[in-house]
């Protein structure tokens, strides 16, 4: 399904007219399949670095109080000063920033990169503290993959410049002012570091791809994944995405894109036709993690582990002792029990299963358990090749739930699991089974005397 030669040449000539760097064009030619060469302008670095147009979803900064106080100007090293001058020069030339006479202003600082270079940052903490927070939902990562059933071919498109592709709402630019020893400047495009920026960007991409979401597109901020069952329809799907990007002045970075692959790394997961698994680089990082020696280190470890908790059976039970150490008066190092849980959790990540894609037509089992420490549930589907896990989940009982009798706790586990996976279960063609290890629950539906909890659940 190659394009007519004229389409390819017109697109390529346009890139040369824009004075695109030869290295960029070479990368495009290597990475982007020829069937999409009519969209090479979507990968233009030159176009991406031009001031974008105003849109309906420009970033609005709504303050809850008065203007933030003027920030101090931090002392800078020679390397930091050189980086600052280069950043200002480059972004003034692009039109992304302009000199500012704002009565407020945030200080700038620098973060060390892995290669030894410096990343320019504006310290917007004071501005963020008085900015009204948006409630627009950014989709949970593990929920993005529930629509991939029967998909066998994938492409990933990474947007270039991301937040800089959106403007600050006209009249709000002065609020983004940052102060330097050279002068003050304000942004015309969305900078990194402002609160609500992810919500604004997710609003944009959701509006652009609204009718394609969960059909053959999933989007999380600047990461777009296109999924299809067949090669031919995949070309159509990817072409539609490129058309939307072009129409909305959004641009992709060829070096970070992948096309027409059977497995793909996306948002910390590896996605392929059979299911979903953890990114092995992250699993290795978990294995190399040293035992936490203080509260901050433990919080960091559990935060990382929580990202993959739906791969681990009875996860809440496995971290019960560790979470008790999150109290401020806890004393480190970890004692013997917490040290054992730490290593058990590490091991659990190495044997975590592949989670199959949910299929509404397959027989389904919800398996639950409950104890004083945790509620646990497993969603299973049965195919011709046997039983396959779809998801694990768990949570700690609430304080009031700890007082339940054991049979009520077991029933609570079932009710919680059915509510938690409601979207899955309501879409099933056949009915589903519930498995639990407490035989007395089979009499629940015929019982004539119900506790208050049971009456509510019934």
Query: Tens digits of per-residue pLDDT, 181-200?
Result: 899 999 999 998 899 999 99
What are 295-354's pLDDT values in tens digits? 888 888 888 888 888 888 888 888 887 887 777 666 777 778 888 888 888 888 888 888
What is the C-alpha separation between 152 and 226, in angstroms, rounded? 11
Give the pLDDT score at 351: 82
Contact between 152 and 58 under an 8 Å Cβ cutoff? The reply is no
Q: Picking from 186-195, 242-251, 278-287, 332-341, which range would have the lowest pLDDT averaged per residue?
A: 332-341
Domain ranges of the chain: 5-48, 141-166+196-277, 278-350, 355-457
Q: Tell me the pLDDT tens digit for each residue of 66-107.
A: 778 888 888 889 999 999 999 999 999 999 999 999 989 999
Full-model pTM: 0.81
CATH topology of domain 141-166+196-277: Alpha-Beta Plaits (3.30.70)
> Among 124, 116, 19, 10, which Cα is nearest to 69's?
124
Overall CATH class of domain 355-457 = alpha beta
Q: How confident is the model at residue 37 (pLDDT cuts 50, 70, 90)?
A: very high
Q: Return the bridge partners of 393, or none.
A: 377
Residues 6 or more apart whose CB falls under 8 angstroms from that of 216 comprise 226, 227, 228, 233, 237
User: Does residue 117 or residue 55 have the better pLDDT?
Assistant: 55
pLDDT interval class at 244 (50, 70, 90)? very high
């Amino acid at each position: 399904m190659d394009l007519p030669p004229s389409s390819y040449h017109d697109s390529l000539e346009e890139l040369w007219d824009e004075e695109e760097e030869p290295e960029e064009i070479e990368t495009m030619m290597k990475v982007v399949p020829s069937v999409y060469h009519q969209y090479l302008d979507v990968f233009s670095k030159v176009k991406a670095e031009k001031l974008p147009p105003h849109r309906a979803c420009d970033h609005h900064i709504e303050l809850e109080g008065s203007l933030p106080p003027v920030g101090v100007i931090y002392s800078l090293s020679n390397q930091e000063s050189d980086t600052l001058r280069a950043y200002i020069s480059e972004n003034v030339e692009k039109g992304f920033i302009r000199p500012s006479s704002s009565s407020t202003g945030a200080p700038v600082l620098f973060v060390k990169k892995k290669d030894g270079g410096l990343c320019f940052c504006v310290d917007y903490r004071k501005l963020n503290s008085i900015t009204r927070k948006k409630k627009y939902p950014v989709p949970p990562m593990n929920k993005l993959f529930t629509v991939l059933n029967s998909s066998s071919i994938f492409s990933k498109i990474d947007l270039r410049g991301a937040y800089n592709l959106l403007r600050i709402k006209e009249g709000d630019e002065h609020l983004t002012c940052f102060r330097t020893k050279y002068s003050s400047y304000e942004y015309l495009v969305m900078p990194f570091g402002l609160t609500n920026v992810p919500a604004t960007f997710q609003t944009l991409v959701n509006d652009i791809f609204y009718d394609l979401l969960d059909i053959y597109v999933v989007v999380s901020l600047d990461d777009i994944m296109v999924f299809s069952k067949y090669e031919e329809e995949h070309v159509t799907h990817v072409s539609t995405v490129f058309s939307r990007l072009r129409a909305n002045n959004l641009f992709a970075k060829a070096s970070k894109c992948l096309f027409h692959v059977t497995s793909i790394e996306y948002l910390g997961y590896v996605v392929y036709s059979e299911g979903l698994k953890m990114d092995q680089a992250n699993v290795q990082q978990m294995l190399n993690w040293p035992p936490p020696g203080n509260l901050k280190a433990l919080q960091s470890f559990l935060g990382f582990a929580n990202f993959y908790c739906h791969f681990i059976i009875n996860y809440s039970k496995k971290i019960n002792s560790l979470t008790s150490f999150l109290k401020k008066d806890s004393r480190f190092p970890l004692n013997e029990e917490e040290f054992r849980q730490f290593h058990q959790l590490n091991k659990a990540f190495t044997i975590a299963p592949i989670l199959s894609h949910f299929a509404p037509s397959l027989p389904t089992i919800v398996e639950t358990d409950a104890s004083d420490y945790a509620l646990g549930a497993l969603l299973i589907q049965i195919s011709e090749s046997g039983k396959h896990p779809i998801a694990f989940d768990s949570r700690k009982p609430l304080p009031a739930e700890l007082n339940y009798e054991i049979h009520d706790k077991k029933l609570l586990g079932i009710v919680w699991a059915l509510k938690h996976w409601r979207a899955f279960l309501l879409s099933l063609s056949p009915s589903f089974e519930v498995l639990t290890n407490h035989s007395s629950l089979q009499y629940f539906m015929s019982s004539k005397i119900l506790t208050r909890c049971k009456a509510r659940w019934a």
